[in-house]
Chain A
Amino acid sequence: MNRALGLTGLILALGGSLLAIAVILTGLKRSRPDLMRMGRAYSFVVLLGAALSVFAMQRAFIQRDYTLKYVAEHGSSTTPALFNVASMWSALEGSILLWGLILAGYLVVVAHKFRKRLDDSLVAWALITMFSVCVFFFGLMLTAANPFQGNLPLPGFDGPGPNPLLQNHILMAFHPPMLYLGYVGFTVPFAFAIAALVTGRVGEGWLVETRRWTLFAWGFLTAGIILGAWWSYEVLGWGGYWGWDPVENASLLPWLTGTAYLHSVMVQERRGMLRVWNLSLLCATFSLTILGTFLTRSGVVASVHAFSAGSVGPILLGFFALVVAVSVGLIGWRGDRLRSVGHIDSPLSREGAFLANNVVFAAFAFVVLLGTVFPLVIEATTGDTLSVGPPYFSRMTMPIGLTLLLLMAVAPVLPWRKASGELLRERLWWPAWTALGAVLVAVMLGATGVAPLLAFGLGGFAAGSALRQIALATKRLGWRGFVGRTNGGMVVHLGVIMIGVALAASMSFMSQGEFTLKEGETARVAGHTLQYLNSSTLDKPNRVELLARIKVDGQSVYAPKLNRYRQSGQTIPTPSVKASLRDDIMMSITTAPTESDPSLGLRVVVQPMVTWLWIGGLIMVIGTILSLFPGRRRNPLDAVSAAAPIEKITA
């Protein structure tokens, strides 16, 4: 029943997409607006199909319908309700199903939003592109990654449940959907970029259409990445929130190119420059989401996130190659129309700073991509095994991060076209003092080392610059000084700065230890005292929990746990964190006390400022929401820059 329902949904979605492409193309060819307007109806069919499949899958999980192979492999009668819902995206096929549902959702919203302009060829081609992406994903689910494969369960069979790591924390229910809302959201600006190239309307019109969509997708991707980091921190138990794992890198890559795009698009809107570059960035962002899916789903890289291998890999890689080929081909074909109308007058200007920003972000993305695929390339060419791990990424990205902080300090005060030294000295006066203040405070709190102090100083510099901008805007506009792209963007900057400073602090001043403690004994790490009181075991439906009570600094008691899952026999620790704005103390059990050896193995990690990562992430999301609201509309005839070096404008 569930299987039939799910397959029907998939076929409905695939059929709807194929028909929609045919109908819109015919409409375009024969100039029949009535046919082109049918795209909206078809988008509802696709969404209906996707929703039906997801409903069938959820129903199967709730009913523990083991006649579905996917449920038999990833469901279990003992999985708690919330994680039962989240089980759908705990492995390959189901996560592609979630992808399909979100894609169909975006499709319907686009078709609805542009319902009055469906006969416009730009919108028609954008819809064709989106329907084509739907064809790929629903086609994939009907072939290589079918979530509704049948299964003949033995009587009394019970599934193993999802990977224990994935049913250990509530964030697992939110991190993947957020991430996918971000990933899939980039399909919309990509579709419009392709439409602009196909129709030859490569001016600034399509940019304005997709500006908010990009920001929306970017906001969700940001939230998804931060929640993922939070999940690692809370679950993995060694104080790590970012392991430069290939799959984490795969989510960072589109974020980097997307961030570069959000900045460089402003140069195109204002000055008509960087057209090829912006189109390339959007196409790169979308291709990187596909490459990310390939890296995650095909099993080519070893990672805590990677799902099992299958024939999905080559198909995804093929789709990635197709997307890249189409994008490059179209940009090459339209090259003559993409010449920019303006040019940069001085490197010391807003557009110059955006250009520098883009070079740095592109370098960042390049380093991450190279580090991720390098071991694969080396193994394929020379047969050698080598690892490119966190030490490489930290060393390479530190100068990049510091440069970005410096740019965040200088760029917001720069005017368009040209800046003078006098103007810079005037506008950077207060930011320079906040920079000095930040270093002073850090030194007084005992921070040492040039690199972290540089990070704190530049962080203070950038924060001063962002605050100055917000203060000026609110002085002029009141509460509206917080909304709109420029001001909201400054709020996002504040969040980024918090994260940057927190990263520098927590990585540089981390302190940890591993202890074997008998009841009543204490351990000391970085000025904190931890006393092991006692432990007990608890029987839960799907696992046995060992719970140790630890008294921290003679005050409150924390209880890290060690879970042994009955079905898989895996042992997964659940760390306990004493979090504060100053520092976090993470406690994680390494070995359980036994009859013969009653001492507890305890790992303790103390890191300063980790909480500021999550606060910074929240502020970034708030800033993105503020940016989505329309700010004060600038009259296009108001001068925003120095006069153009054009000799005369005759009346």
Chain B
Amino acid sequence: MKQRHAQRQKWWWWTLMGVILVVLLASASGSSPTEGNSDDRLFAIAAQIKCVQCVGESVAGSAAPIALQFRSEISKQMKQGRTNDEILNFFAERYEGVLLTPPSTGVGSLVWVIPVIVVAAAALLLVESLRVRRSRGPAQQPSSEDESLVQTALAQRQSGAQEDATVSTDDS
């Protein structure tokens, strides 16, 4: 038991684990092409375009005729050798608000920026409030009233008189 405990504290075990993990992640970091005659790229592009005549569906998810048209247009442009961005821009120029990814420039980019700022601010505030609290030192000393409460409770417990373990701490 003690040996095992010591083993878990050895740094080289943990380093070994880390090394294996990094090697595994590095070895599998590239993506492999999927086999078969599937249309993964087509649908990956289609998933970023809103189906303009449907409600709340993407061109990839809809079975509406317009979605089928869009998909055949994407497929046509893919065969012409156009890149994903070129194809997406093609649709963005023709239909307003058709891209499901909000823009990274202009007013629309706020949707990306605001969460980062808010979360960073919240985290900073939290760290700061923790630091202030801790520098204030330990909580107030227990009053004699508190101590007598503790004593009564301990005495009750020793005499086995306590029947229910839940305490209501209502400060009414």
A-side contacts of B68, CB under 8 Å: 590
Measured between alpha carbons, how far is A363 from B122 in the docked complex, in Å?
9
Please tell me if B69 contacts chain A, counting CB pairs below 8 Å. Answer: no
A571 to chain B, nearest CB (A): 8
Instruction: Report whether B126 and A359 are in contact in the complex, using a CB–CB cutoff of 8 Å.
Output: yes
Asked, given contacts A439-B24, A448-B30, A635-B157, whether A387 binds B171 with beta carbons under 8 Å apart, the answer is no
Which residue of B21, B32, B43, B100 is within 8 Å of A457 (Cβ)? B21
Which residue of A205, A378, A440, A634 is within 8 Å of B168 (Cβ)? A205
Asked, given contacts A343-B133, A370-B114, whether A355 binds B126 with beta carbons under 8 Å apart, the answer is yes
Whose C-beta in chain A lies nearest to the C-beta of B122?
A: A359
Instruction: Report whether B119 and A363 are in contact in the complex, using a CB–CB cutoff of 8 Å.
Output: yes
A-side contacts of B157, CB under 8 Å: 635, 637
Whose C-beta in chain B lies nearest to the C-beta of A422?
A: B9
Instruction: Report whether A645 and B138 are in contact in the complex, using a CB–CB cutoff of 8 Å.
Output: yes
Which of B8, B110, B123 is the most central at the interface, judged by chain A CB atoms within 10 Å of its CB? B8
A-side contacts of B57, CB under 8 Å: 243, 304
Please tell me if A386 contacts chain B, counting CB pairs below 8 Å. Answer: yes
Instruction: Report whether A511 and B38 are in contact in the complex, using a CB–CB cutoff of 8 Å.
Output: yes
The proximity string for A residues 464-487 relative to B, scoring 1 for CB distances below 8 Å and 0 otherwise, is 000000000000000000000000
Asked, given contacts A384-B107, A436-B21, A443-B27, whether A389 binds B100 with beta carbons under 8 Å apart, the answer is yes
Instruction: Report whether B103 and A203 are in contact in the complex, using a CB–CB cutoff of 8 Å.
Output: no
B104 to chain A, nearest CB (A): 11
**Interface size range of chain A in the complex:** 35 or more
Measured between alpha carbons, how far is A402 from B102 in the docked complex, in Å?
23
Chain A contacts with B in 330-346, Cβ cutoff 8 A: 337, 341-345
Instruction: Report whether A523 and B171 are in contact in the complex, using a CB–CB cutoff of 8 Å.
Output: no
B160 to chain A, nearest CB (A): 12
Please tell me if B29 contacts chain A, counting CB pairs below 8 Å. Answer: yes
Instruction: Report whether B8 and A514 are in contact in the complex, using a CB–CB cutoff of 8 Å.
Output: no
Instruction: Report whether B40 and A511 are in contact in the complex, using a CB–CB cutoff of 8 Å.
Output: yes
Selected interface stretch from A232-240, A257-265, A321-329, A406-414: A232-240
Which residue of A199, A243, A633 is within 8 Å of B166 (Cβ)? A633
Selected interface stretch from A7-15, A26-34, A390-398: A390-398
B-side contacts of A511, CB under 8 Å: 34, 36, 38, 40
Instruction: Report whether B107 and A238 are in contact in the complex, using a CB–CB cutoff of 8 Å.
Output: no
Whose C-beta in chain B lies nearest to the C-beta of A232?
A: B61
Chain B contacts with A in 26-53, Cβ cutoff 8 A: 27-32, 34-40, 42-43, 47-48, 50
The proximity string for B residues 118-138 relative to A, scoring 1 for CB distances below 8 Å and 0 otherwise, is 110011001000100110101
Instruction: Report whether A201 and B172 are in contact in the complex, using a CB–CB cutoff of 8 Å.
Output: yes
Instruction: Report whether A527 and B35 are in contact in the complex, using a CB–CB cutoff of 8 Å.
Output: yes
Instruction: Report whether A386 and B139 are in contact in the complex, using a CB–CB cutoff of 8 Å.
Output: no
Whose C-beta in chain A lies nearest to the C-beta of B39?
A: A513
B interface size (C-beta, 8 A): 80
Instruction: Report whether B25 and A453 are in contact in the complex, using a CB–CB cutoff of 8 Å.
Output: yes
Which residue of B14, B20, B170 is within 8 Å of A425 (Cβ)? B14
Asked, given contacts A237-B63, A433-B17, A637-B157, whether A523 binds B101 with beta carbons under 8 Å apart, the answer is no
Which residue of A389, A590, A604 is within 8 Å of B58 (Cβ)? A389
A-side contacts of B30, CB under 8 Å: 448
Instruction: Report whether B36 and A514 are in contact in the complex, using a CB–CB cutoff of 8 Å.
Output: no
Measured between alpha carbons, how far is A571 from B139 in the docked complex, in Å?
68
Instruction: Report whether B61 and A236 are in contact in the complex, using a CB–CB cutoff of 8 Å.
Output: yes
Please tell me if B66 contacts chain A, counting CB pairs below 8 Å. Answer: no
A-side contacts of B47, CB under 8 Å: 390-391
Which residue of A208, A387, A514 is within 8 Å of B50 (Cβ)? A387
Asked, given contacts A359-B126, A367-B115, A649-B142, whether A453 binds B34 with beta carbons under 8 Å apart, the answer is no
Asked, given contacts A302-B55, A645-B138, whether A344 binds B133 with beta carbons under 8 Å apart, the answer is yes
A532 to chain B, nearest CB (A): 15
Instruction: Report whether B101 and A389 are in contact in the complex, using a CB–CB cutoff of 8 Å.
Output: yes
30 A-B contacts (beta carbon < 8 Å): A200-B172, A205-B168, A205-B172, A238-B60, A245-B56, A303-B56, A306-B56, A341-B139, A343-B133, A344-B130, A370-B111, A374-B111, A386-B102, A387-B97, A389-B101, A392-B101, A425-B8, A426-B5, A426-B9, A439-B21, A510-B40, A511-B34, A511-B36, A512-B39, A513-B39, A588-B63, A635-B165, A636-B165, A636-B166, A636-B167
Residues of B within 8 A of A (CB): 5, 8-9, 14, 17, 20-21, 24-25, 27-32, 34-40, 42-43, 47-48, 50, 55-58, 60-63, 68, 71, 96-103, 107-108, 110-112, 114-115, 118-119, 122-123, 126, 130, 133-134, 136, 138-139, 141-142, 147, 150-151, 153-154, 157, 162, 165-172
Besides A512-B39, A526-B34, 5 new A-B residue pairs in contact (Cβ under 8 A), listed by A number:
A204-B168, A367-B115, A382-B107, A389-B48, A453-B24
Residues of A within 8 A of B (CB): 199-206, 208, 236-238, 240, 243, 245-246, 272, 301-306, 337, 341-345, 347, 355, 359, 362-363, 366-367, 370-371, 374-375, 378, 382, 384-392, 396, 422, 425-426, 429, 432-433, 435-436, 439-440, 442-443, 446-450, 453-454, 457, 510-514, 523-528, 573, 588, 590, 603-604, 606, 633-637, 644-646, 649-651
